[in-house]
Amino acid sequence: MTDRPDLAIVGAGPAGLAAATEAATRGLSVTLLDERAAPGGIVYHAVTRSPLGGSAVLDADYCRGAGLVEAFRSSGATYCPGASVWAVDRDGSIGVTVDGQARWLRPRRVLLATGCMERSLPFPGWTLPGVMTAGAGQILLKDSGAIPDGPVVLAGTGPLLLLVAVQYLRAGARIAAVADLTPPGAWQRGLPQLAGALGCLPLLRKGLSMMAELRRSDVRRIPGVTGLRAIGTDRLEAVEVRQGARAERIPAGVLLVHAGVVPNIVLTRMLRLPHRWDPRQRCWRPDADAFGATALDAVAVAGDGARILGAEAAIHAGRLAALDAAHRLGVLDRAERDRHAAPEQAAIERHAGLRSLLDAMYPPPDALTFLDADTTICRCEDITAADIRAAIADGCRDPNQVKAVTRCAMGPCQGRQCGQTLARIVADATGQTEEDVMPPRARPPLRRLTIGDLAALETE
Amino acid sequence: MTQDVIIIGGGLHGSSTAYQLAARGRRPLVIERNHVARHASGASAGGVRRLRRHRAELPLAMESLALWRRLPELLGDDCGFSPCGHLLLAETEADLAWTVERAATTRSLGYDFEEPIDRAEVKRLVPAVSDAVIGGIIARDDGFGNPLLTTAAFRRRAESLGARYLERTEVLGIERDAAGWTVATTAGRFAAPSLVNCAGGWGERIAAMLGETMPVRMKAATMTVTARVPRFLGPVIGHVRKKLSLKQMQNGTVVIGGGYEGRADMEAGESDVLYAGLPGNMKPVVDAFPHLARVPIVRNWTGLEGNTPDAIPYIGPSPNDPTLVHSFGYSGHGFQLGPICGVIVADLVMHGATPLPIGAFQPDRFATAGTLQWGAKEGTAVEEQKAV
């Protein structure tokens, strides 16, 4: 691995793989850093080795990831698995630990393709063992084909919840209920966006057929859910589901929760890039142009980490960022860049059309709706909503102050999980809008780094 | 209610000053551009240290320590003050010679708090220390406090005594007329007969608005906090020669300073950790305490602080106008001085004089052309103060 590649890419999901392939094909020296042991990111997790690959449980869209990996492997880009990126500097240099050794890379450019994460949706009992995100449940399935023995409740909203429900159903899980947090009227809301989404007909069809599959099964669907509580002493025993005034307890061994995905902005926040509030997706995302270029010369973003448009759009966005890197590094003139970019941009437009439909149908829930005063917000430091409100009552007016006073968002995850909920509570308690209140600053290191690692850091 | 003093800057020094003035019946208004303790006061390592302090600061530091001990009574809050001692490690004969010389110098000034100690005493106090350490120098009554709690406690008490705070309020301009000062801010105009500049790293800009030349360089000192480890440290540890500073907090985490510089972005009011410079920060830590090599870093951060050319603060009335008092540029070691400097500034505002010697801190010492010379080692307070 050279310490000074033309382009370093963080993340081997669809955007990172496509960018690395495109950039290497254009003649750039490329190093792709990825935390995982195998390429594919979250969406194509374990795509090259899953025991369920090619089966009916995981569909053709998933298996398409294998082709992406194949192209990457023959592109000449350097692949660096098991690489923990613990810092990125504004000049594009990267602190990374590989094989137990911390190194400081100085690429000419860096592309952040760190993808999305599931929206954190704290509710009473959500920290009990047995409660996890639908995405985590899906990873277990992709990794080992494992499904839980006990009854499973799925709760939440959005296409991934539907996908995981269907995948669990096919794998033979006992699904006790699917508690739908989507406000009633999804199709009425979606109708005006339908025409714009027709460019992604195959994905639309896939969604409709999954809905039909779930409907045909005898899985119980509870619509219009307005409250959620996980009940148990040492681990999950039951899920309390509320529809308005009506509450019901459903025995469960596992609760999979999903409230949509948001860009993982810990790195871009740490870099102090400008971010903008996306009211439809109810999240913050880094400001970037059509090629993923940011306010920092050496830093670009691509994929769901820049804007949630899904895996296929991320492939196109990765290629765009690679074309732009090739242009900025002098191996591709502007006209050539733009000529190759046009079809990628058109494809992204199609996916943006589909996303508008999904955003209209599945509006992200307001975190405040589901939590109560005693709900844990920061899992790392065990800080509750009441602790945060007490700090605000004491005079704190922004999330950084609350962080300093309560330690909320000060743990090892650097606020990745709780940052947005903290900002939401601050906005609520101080009479501001969500758009007014950014999550707190994120601090390095983002991954494990010891005193000894840093003492021995090779900086050249 | 109107104010009779305007204090620009709501950090530790502004808040300590506000408390002292309010406690004596004045009605101060504190104008803070960001939120209280946003920069140096919040990012400080919290050292309450007289050991190896600049000779000019020693009389103030002695008085300040007395106030640190009385904070529970004065503020109703101990501010996390722990008088655990400060110990500088010596590894060579030259290091040892320096400890003896330093203690003798300090004693000749009338202070006996610095005590050279031998290898056995260092080992007794800090059994985990490396065998390479052959002695040291200790100030047994020094210690550390919690910067956020301390500034918050001064502010709270100041407010309860009638001080007012305006946060997220930026100073746009300052005018002087026969009645006093008028400060134009993003929250309107405020007038008072007296004005105090406690703007820290932005103090130079405030002085410039007043036509005064008080150079400050913004620096971003890097801090490191580790995961919790079993208790192994009593005193705060430094080194006679190396840039080393570490302490173990009540919760078991180890906080490491040393003055390694990050990237200061004054315009954004932000700063960044620069890892490429940090191996040198960690090597002396591992040398002194080999068992820390395996301990994970939980967080690195940097904070902006204003450094003067000679690394000692500006404290005193403006030579042009006694109703204007400056107190900033503490150059990375102003935390210990916070309590006493509030007293000094309040004295200057109310009586135009203070019994404590502040001649070395004259605000206009770099005002005349040709007098400005940034110290060869400016900002590295450790090295600078060794020269005392």
How confident is the model over A308-332, as pLDDT tens digits? 999 999 999 999 999 999 999 999 9
Fold for domain A371-460?
Arc Repressor Mutant, subunit A (1.10.10)
Q: What is chain B's mean pLDDT, rounded?
A: 94
* List of chain A residues whose C-beta atoms are within 8 Å of the C-beta of residue B263: 90
Option in B167, B256, B276 nearest A397 (CB): B167
pLDDT band at residue B373 using 50, 70 and 90 as cut-offs: confident
> Identical fold at A7-117+262-359 and A131-259?
yes
Across the interface, whether the CB atoms of A454 and B292 are under 8 A apart is answered: no
Give residue limits of the domains in chain A: 7-117+262-359, 131-259, 371-460
The count of other CB atoms within 10 Å of the CB of residue B181 is: 21
Whether the predicted pLDDT of B380 surpasses 50: no
pLDDT at B17 over 60: yes
**Is A51 part of the contact surface with chain B (CB cutoff 8 Å)?**
no
Q: Does residue B379 surpass a pLDDT of 50? A: no
CA distance A418 to chain B (A): 17
Q: What is the mean pLDDT of residues B286-300?
A: 96
Q: Enter the DSSP assignment of B326.
A: E
- Chain A neighbours among B 137-176 (CB < 8 Å)? 148, 152, 167-168
What pLDDT score was predicted for residue A460? 62
Please answer yes or no on whether A455 and B167 come within 8 Å at the CB atom: no
Mean pLDDT of B306-317: 97
The answer to whether residue A88 neighbours chain B at the CB level (below 8 Å) is: no
Q: Touching check for B232 and chain A: CB below 8 Å? A: no
B276 vs A459: CB contact, 8 Å cut-off? yes
pLDDT score, position A142: 80
- What is the overall mean pLDDT for chain A? 93
Would you call A398 and B296 a contact, using CB atoms and an 8 Å cutoff?
no
Q: Taking CA atoms, what residue in A is nearest to B276?
A: A459
pLDDT surpasses 90 at A50: no
CB contact, 8 Å: A95 with chain B?
Answer: yes
Class of the domain covering A7-117+262-359 = alpha beta
Asked if A455 lies within 8 A of B283 by C-beta distance, the reply is yes
Contacts of B297 in chain A (CB under 8 A): 445, 449-451, 454
Q: How confident is the model at residue A131 (pLDDT cuts 50, 70, 90)?
A: very high
Amino acid of residue A325: A
Give the confidence band of A48 by pLDDT, cuts at 50, 70, 90. Answer: low
Confidence grade of residue A414 (pLDDT, cut at 50, 70, 90): confident
Residue in A closest to B43 by C-alpha: A404
Least confident of A184-188, B158-162, B374-378: B374-378
Q: What dotted CATH number matches A131-259?
A: 3.50.50.60
Closest among A372, A363, A397, A146 to A254, alpha carbons compared: A146
Task: Mark yes or no for CB contact A451/B167 under 8 Å.
Answer: no
Mean local confidence (pLDDT), B50-61: 97
Contact criterion met (CB < 8 Å) for B272 and A455:
no
